[in-house]
């Protein structure tokens, strides 16, 4: 048993391991609602936290990854819009016609252009 201090609560090693699992999952960017659902599917502690392969876990983590990627895409669009507004502000009164969606399309096609030159 692990003592919480003089007169403090006593916790088993499993409790300490569970706290370390939760901390690792929080550090990975998962929310507490998702962690509550999936923490039973993990074993180990600290840097040794590993998932126990389970179809339900895969489904939940796949959904969480898709949500994170959607948030990243939204943040990238927001960043591009702000960059355009700053470019317009720095260039004077409306001299630049900046369209964040055009910049986004250009950025998305860049990897394809590079891949085409690499195979040629």
3-14 pLDDT tens trace: 455 665 666 667
Whole-prediction pTM value? 0.56
**What is residue 120's predicted lDDT score, i.e. its pLDDT?**
38
pLDDT for 101 equals 62
Residue 80 has, within 13 A of its CA and on its CB side, a CA count of 17
Whole-Å CA distances, 53 to 29, 58, 73, 77: 20, 8, 29, 35
Confidence of residue 118 (pLDDT cuts 50, 70, 90): very low
> What's the pLDDT tens digit per position in 54-93?
888 899 999 999 999 999 999 999 999 999 999 988 886 5
- Position 15 scores a pLDDT of 84
The residue with greater pLDDT, 114 or 42, is 42
């Amino acid at each position: 048993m692990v003592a919480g201090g003089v007169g403090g609560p006593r916790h088993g090693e499993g409790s300490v391991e569970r706290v370390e699992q939760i901390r690792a999952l929080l550090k990975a960017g998962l929310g507490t609602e998702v962690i509550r659902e999936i923490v039973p599917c993990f074993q180990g502690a600290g840097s040794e936290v590993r998932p126990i392969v389970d179809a339900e876990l895969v489904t939940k983590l796949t959904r969480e990854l898709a949500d994170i990627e959607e948030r990243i895409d939204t943040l990238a669009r927001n960043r591009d819009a702000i960059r355009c507004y700053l470019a317009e502000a720095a260039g004077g009164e409306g001299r630049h016609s900046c369209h964040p969606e055009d910049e986004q399309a250009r950025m998305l096609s860049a990897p394809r252009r590079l891949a085409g030159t690499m195979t040629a």
